[in-house]
Every structure is written in C-alpha cells, then in structure tokens.
A and B are shown apart, each in its own frame.
Chain A
C-alpha cells in the first residue's frame, strides 16, 4: 500500500502583464490559488499538506471561498463556474456556463447567495451575476466594451457591484436586480483590480497607470487618491484590504509591495514599502497579493510566494515556491537526501523531505531543460537545442556552466555514476560519448535512438530504439561494439535504467510495458509488467534493488517487487493530473513522483 505523505505543491500560474488573484479563508488559515487545471488549497500552518481540486476541463483562473467557508466557487478560461464543497471530498454542488470567454474575477455576495463573475466575452456577456444555487441571472450588466478585469460586491447594504476593465472604465451597478448606475473614467490605462473595504464605506481601484483611486462606496464619488510621494513606479496589479479597513496592500510591476494608510477623507499615504527581491529580474515583478489575518502574502511572476507578518513588517518574509509547469525530471542527491526537480522552462528546485521548498538553483545559462541527471558535484542537462550543459554544483549553488554541442537535439542523457566524467548522450540517429565537456566520439548507429543508459563503471551501454529493440554495446575507449539485441518491447523504448547493484536493468516503452532483465544472462527477470494503460514516462529502482517503480501518462505509479509476480503490485492511482513524468526513490520505503500538474509528491510504502 502506498500513502501520500507530503505534497510539494506548484506555484500559481502567472502571466506577464496581468495580475493574478489569490484568495483565502481567514477561519481555516488557508489560501487558494490556481495552476493549470488544478485549484490548490494550501494551509499556511501545514505547508506540506495540500489539497488539489482537478475537476475543471480547462485551465482555472480564479477560485474563492464563500463567506461561510463551506463552498468554493472556481472559474476557468471556458467561462464555466463550478461550485463545490470544501469538505466531504469536494462534492460538486453546481456547474454553470456563465460567460462565453475567459473569466477573470469572481466574487460572492456577503450573504453567500449570489455570485458575480466578470471576464472576456462577446457582446453582452462580459459581466454576469447569478444566484449560486439556481444560476438565474439577477441583473443586466451593460456598460463595458472590453475585457472586464475585476469586480467586487459591496459587503454591506445597500448592495452595489463595481466592475472595472480594459476600457479604462469603472462601472457601478445597484440592485438587486442590478442595474447600471454610473460610470467613472478617471484612470488613463487598464484598471487591474477593484476592491471594497470590509466595512463597506470605500472602494479602491488600481491601474496600470500607476495610480490608486479611492471612492465613496455608496455614491461613487471620488474621495481621494494614493499620494504620489513614494508611490509605485510600475503598473499596480492587485490590491487587498486589511480586515480593519484602515490599510491596504498593493503589489506592482516595479517589484515592490506597498502598505498604504487610508485615512477617513480618502487619501492614501505609504506606510511601508516591502521589497521582496535583491536581483530585480523580471521574475520578481509582483502580480498578486492578499491580506489575511496577520499575513501579507505576495506572489511574484516567477511563482515565489512571500508571506510577511503584518504586525512586524521588518521581519524577513517566509518565502516558498514551486514549479509552474510540467515537472519533467526528478533526481535524488544521495549524500544529503535532497531532491532536485526540473521543469521544461529551465527551473530547477531543491526540496527537502519533511521541510518542503528549499530554494531554486539559480543558473544563468541554461534556457530550457528536457533531460537532467545529477551526481553529487554536478548536473548534466540538455534542452531543446543541440547543447549538453555540465554545471558544477556546490552547496546548492551553480558554478559556471560548460556546454558541448552534440550535433542534434539529445533524446536522452546518461552518466556513468562511478566515473561521472563519462556521459552518453543519445541523439536522433546515434549516440555521442562525452568525457567532461569534450566529445570523445560521435557514433552513427543507423536507427533512431530514443533512450540510452551507460553502466556505472562505463564499460557497457544499452541503447533503445524507436522500433522497441534494445541494443547492448560494450564500451572500449571511444568505440562501441554491439554485443546483443534484445527484442521484446512493442513500442519505442522510453527509459532504460540499471539497478543500483548493477545486476539487472529495466526498460520501459511507449506501449505501457516494462521489463526487468538480468544484466549478465540477458534473460527476462520480471515479465508481464503491463499494468499501466498508456505510455511509460519514467522508471526508478529502489536503493536495495528490490523494487521497481514505473510512472505513466495514465497518471498512475505502479511499484513491482523483484522476486514476486508482477500481479502483486502496488498501484498509486491519479498520482498526478495529466501524467507522471518523474520518479525517484529516496530510500527503500519512500518514493517521490512528479508530473504534469507541476507538483511533486512523496509516497510512503507500507507492507500490508
């Protein structure tokens, strides 16, 4: 049996030039954000315990708790809103197709009976408000001509809805049934966010013209604006009120977050500027914020979440992050039990069991990563160009990378673990042997190569082809001599791995089958490993060479035991929405897997 013991969650998906919305529930101390097709619920006091809702068919844009904390409404790019319960396994209450385009913001009314939704659409459907349980429309929302970026419900009676968008307008509607009341055109650029204060007296709009304006909530009259002294020098993407309605937090493309004091007459003065980064790169532009209880939460374009303490603004923030895209490789560094995961956009993150996020490995040169192998002191990666990079790793920091041009895009990279200078890289029509950063030989094998592995001592190499055949070569100096060809697989070989004790090797193919072979006799040791239903992406051996884990596009991880028949296997279903792409064993009882949902999960195996 396998149990989920830790989840290293993904970061919110971000887009340059747009803000994102994160929301939370002060009572349960949790925050909600979206990545891809999943909604993530994270508990601030239990960062390794993450709940994921993956029922949307399209990428999710915003999710919010209802005022009583019992329901969550989430919306996606197809214009669909799903309302589901927080407890009881996320049982779906209702699903409505509300807009004809992407939904950008969603708000509950303070009594939890109505929901207002705004976004992109055609013609009429840019803003819609409806009853939460029946979906019946409760008002006419004309007045916008372009994408509506944000909307909010006034928390106190008399009810108002305010919306703002790309047509530089802020519209006020009163009701129910909601009707257009007035339109305000004070901003000179996209208005990114509008929020009512919790006491219902004012609302603030923030815009890409770097200004923030404060209005009276009942009449819509402009009361004041953020003072320009110490103001933002870039577009302001989001604003969040303090629960006592006296202060707000704003985040901006100028990479800073500011806390403003809003006085009774409606003018705002900067109390504090919080700078979250030292490097000032584009990834540090802040795109989302939330003020919840005592926490000030900011999200950067690079996916880093910083949590400041509101009562002690001088204290350094607690920050964590995750991947934002498909995590394609996963390795475990043996000596210090750290895990390295990398995604195709070139981000490498280090994780520690029991703790979670432990930092991103910063490197200047590597643009994208398709294959990655790591030994203690170095990482070898290849991307989508013709280069293989070798980066020395000391203490988590990268040194200068050296690269080697291998002639065409590498399909697989393998390191001889005992002599890590030696690497085998498979390219489209052959393999390349590397020693350090020099090409030792480039061997054309005549068939398309899809996977390769080199024995830890560098004496033997196994190459798998598109046709499913495994070719075993002995390596002498810079030449390969073919020893045997093994035919059993019915699809292109995707992974080949030697067992840690080097007595066996396992291969997996695109036809959902994997086989374990004895290295010396080349006989099949474990047969019928057919329990997946789609292409196998990854394979890992346990350190004692008794267990083999395979991960597949069908989202399952199956663990087989050598010596027992394949049918007595442990299956982990739905390990990662979208497919499992990376697998590694930390020790004989713990497996870590990563997948398309940008999360990394740690499973504990227990004997039944």
Chain B
C-alpha cells in the first residue's frame, strides 16, 4: 500500500472490515487507531449491529484521537428507511498535539481507502458529534 504524507501505512484488515460493514452490514461501527510504533492504521474495536449510538460514543476515548466509521439508520421525511455511512475524525481538544497532528495528516489518505463513505464529520468534543448533529447531517 502506498504511504500517506505522514508515512502511515494502512493495515489490510481495515479495508476488509469496512467492506464487510458496507456489504454485509454485520457491524454497527468500526473504530480505528494509529499505532505509532508499527506506523500503521489498525482496527481497534468492532461494534455489533445491535449496539446504539451511545455505545459508539462511549468507545471513543475522551483524550485520544481516533478514526471511526458508523452505519447510521434513519427514516427520511418520505418515510423510507435509509442508512448512511459516516466517517468520524475524532480529535478531542484535550488530546496531545502530536496525536492531533498525526491523525490530521493521515486522515485524507486513509479516508480515500474507504470507498463508500457518504458523510464526513470532524468532532473536537462530544457536543460536536451529538446525535442531533449526526441526524441533521444525514438528512
């Protein structure tokens, strides 16, 4: 795999799990972490389909950056059930600057690996990814 501008490689598992979420819908969310020591983006946590948005927010650490993909189900104004895949760049203000820089520079390269993301969201504190904001971005 070609490298991003920060030199980060993407582990094959990330792409595979994402395709599974997209095609087979067997995960509600995936949380990715950058392992600095091995210079790679790896899968940290997989969420079951029955887990809720609150479980997702709970699995993001409050003072470390992460990338995440969430499969959001909602009903449109015409009453059809739709689902959109959200990419969340979680970069809390309380995390270390080095961490924020690393995640920010690798984000673009990584996101392009995940083909089929419909909405991208950047959150610097829990209020920026609250459920109503996600819902308004989906519609």
Contact = CB atoms under 8 A, between A and B. Distances in A.
Given A528-B125, A530-B125, A567 B130 contact: yes
Interface of B is mostly: helix
B93 interface: yes
Interface string B44-70: 000000000010000000000000000
B74 interface: no
A490 B131 CA distance: 24
A279 to B, nearest CB: 51
Interface in B91-139: 93-94, 125-127, 130-132
Nearest to B131: A567
Contacts of A565: 54
B134 to A, nearest CB: 11
Contacts of B126: 528, 530, 566-567
A531 interface: yes
A490 B127 CA distance: 16
A490 B93 CA distance: 10
Interface string A473-500: 0000000000000000010000000000
Interface of A is mostly: loop
B128 to A, nearest CB: 8
Interface residues of A, number: 7
Contacts of B93: 490
Interface in A515-574: 528, 530-531, 565-567
A468 to B, nearest CB: 12
Most A Cβ at <10 Å: residue of B54, B130, B131, B132:
B130
Interface string A563-602: 0011100000000000000000000000000000000000
Contacts of A530: 125-127
Contacts of A528: 125-127
B12 to A, nearest CB: 35
B122 to A, nearest CB: 15
A455 B111 CA distance: 52
B121 to A, nearest CB: 15
Interface string B3-18: 0000000000000000
A567 B57 CA distance: 12
B96 to A, nearest CB: 15
Nearest to B93: A490
B52 to A, nearest CB: 12
A222 to B, nearest CB: 67
Contacts of A531: 127, 130
B38 to A, nearest CB: 33
A573 to B, nearest CB: 13
A567 B93 CA distance: 18
Contacts of A490: 93-94
Given A490-B93, A566-B127, A567-B130, 8 more contacts: A528-B125, A528-B126, A530-B126, A531-B127, A565-B54, A567-B127, A567-B131, A567-B132
